[in-house]
Amino acid sequence: MNPSVWTSTENLTLLNPRLPTEDQASLRRALDYGQESAALNGHVFLLTSGTTAATNESLSAFKWVALSKTAILNAAEAANRHLESGAHDVWLHCLPEFHIGGLSIWARSTLSGARVVKSVCAQAWVPEKFVDEVAETRATLCSLVPAHVHDLITRELRAPSSLRAILLGGGASSRELLSRARALGWPVLPTYGMSETASQVATALLNFESDRNPPLRILSHLDVSTGEDERLRIRGSSLLTGYIRVTSDGRGMFVDPKEKGWFVTDDFGKVENGTLTLLGRVSDRIKIGGETVHLSRLEALLEEEASRLKIAPSLTLVASPDPRLESVIHAVCEERCEPAKAREAVERYNRRVLPFERAREIRIVPTIPRTELWKIKRAELRALMGEPSL
């Protein structure tokens, strides 16, 4: 990407090329229809990661994020400081540019002078090829999602010595995955971030020494706090300008979600001494027999057991409506998964949780639908199961 992009006042619109051509045209028109969005200059428009691959959904489910280029550069500068990155670094770029994680690498390198090598694995992920590329390019930095790391550790591939940090985003990472990755030399750093904050909010420290999920250090350009309901609130120099929501008639409606400069997220967490501990998402908080449960915490436990049996990507949890308890937990397994291993993983999980948190049964689906960043598409998964929306 040409560095002059970041100093230009022209707007940049980024779309998933896999979207149908008609949908791409409609989404672009929505930006032009929005009076406020049409007046913005020096902005990048991209879709939130949860809506970039839902080609069978109504366009009204899509949501543009408007980020000023200045906001993206502010986030990039803070990330470079945290990573102690400079012109000596080499980024191996494996993520799509239409997501903030991939786009941010170009902004960071523009400020730091680091070299960027676009990986062939950005088009088709092949773990062995990725390892070869790291060795050939002497890459020092990279951004991956948990599915990438899972593939590396299940094949027991060791990290080339040049790598000094891998930003791990795109979803929660289990303690088992982190421990096994670091045992093989992969310097994974869990992160927390989103499109609305121009990528990272908090990241583990370099060279953390622990086999547990490390604390995430809040980056220097942001303030993070919690309200009475434990929802994370973020303020700082990398926040979005606003959303452009696509209305039912195909027009764009500009909305600024910030409240007195604060962006209220859909995540729960705790903030202590400059570090962040994630507790789960609003959509993951459910009630079972009057007890409040964070589904993401339970999923992490199941993933640990599934990782030990090398079936982690094929197994997850879903909360189903229940007339008596309000919700109950079911495990969901892909057809390709070995039934005996799936049952063993669920049995191990059930022994670790409270009785009301146990998986009642195992449901089979052809595949667990996911975005390019490996986040589960909950609505599509529930449709595959024949479940109503919660």
pLDDT tens sequence across 92-139: 999 989 999 999 999 999 999 999 999 998 888 999 999 999 999 999
1-15, 100-114, 311-325, 371-385 — most confident range: 100-114
Strands 63-68 and 242-246: antiparallel
Distance (Å, rounded) from C-alpha 244 to C-alpha 34? Answer: 7
What average pLDDT does this structure show over 225-238? 92
Tokens 């919690």, residue?
226
* Cα-based angle 268, 104, 134 (whole degrees, multiple of 5): 105
Task: Give counts: helices (H), strands (E), the chain.
Answer: 10, 21
Q: Which amino acid is it at 365?
A: V
Q: Which of 199, 233, 195 is nearest to 219 (CA)?
A: 199
Residue 35: band (very low, low, confident or very high) from pLDDT cuts 50, 70, 90: low
What's the pLDDT at 65? 94
In the predicted model, what is the mean pLDDT of the chain?
87
Average pLDDT rounded to a whole number, residues 324-339: 90
Cα–Cα nearest to 254, from 30, 8, 34:
34
| Distance between CA atoms of residues 203 and 191, nearest Å | 4
Query: Residue 331 corresponds to which tokens in the numbers above?
Result: 């495990």
Domains of the chain with bracketed CATH: 1-279 (3.40.50.12780), 289-385 (3.30.300.30)
Helix pair 175-183, 295-308: axis angle to 10 deg: 40
- CB-based burial label for 95 (10 Å; 0-12, 13-18, 19+): buried
Q: Does the pLDDT at position 212 exceed 80?
A: no
Beta strands 199-204; 231-236: pairing state = unpaired
How many angstroms separate the CA atoms of 147 and 307, rounded?
Answer: 11
Instruction: Report the SS3 class of residue 133.
Output: helix
Over 60: is that where the pLDDT of 49 sits?
no
What's the rounded mean pLDDT across residues 383-389?
70
Burial class (CB in 10 A: 0-12, 13-18, 19+), 285: middle
Q: Contact at 8 Å (CB) between 254 and 36?
A: yes
At residue 106, the 3 state secondary structure works out as helix
Token digits of residue 74 = 């502010």
- pLDDT bracket for residue 54 (50, 70, 90): very low
Helix (H, G, I), strand (E, B) or coil at 79: helix
Which two tokens mark 122? 């950005």
Cβ atoms of 315 and 302 within 8 Å: the answer is: yes
pLDDT of residue 253 exceeding 50:
yes
pLDDT tens readout for residues 170-204: 666 677 788 889 999 999 999 999 999 999 999 99
In the predicted structure, residue 144 carries a pLDDT above the cut 80: yes
Single-letter code of the amino acid located at 85: S
d(C-alpha 105, C-alpha 116), whole Å: 8
Distance from C-alpha of 270 to C-alpha of 254, rounded to nearest angstrom: 31
* Residue 169 to residues 1, 49, 144, 222, Cα–Cα distance (Å): 22, 12, 7, 18
CB 280 within 8 A of CB 293: no
pLDDT of residue 55: 40
Cα 357 versus chain centre, distance: 25
Nearest to 54 by CA among 383, 386, 369, 374: 369
On the question of pLDDT at 12 being above 90, the answer is yes
The pLDDT-based confidence of 209 (bands split at 50, 70, 90) is: low
Residue 170 is predicted with a pLDDT of: 65
Given a cut of 50, is residue 149 above it in pLDDT?
A: yes
Quickly tell me which residue has 């089979």 as its tokens: 364
| E strand or H helix that includes residue 224 | strand 222-226
Average pLDDT over residues 333-358: 93
Closest CA to 318 of 279, 278, 354, 359: 359
Contact present, 315 and 331 (Cβ < 8 Å):
yes
Residue 322 banded pLDDT, cuts 50, 70, 90: confident
What single-letter amino acid sits at 374? W
Tell me which residue of 380, 361, 355, 360 sits closest to 370, measured CA to CA. Answer: 380
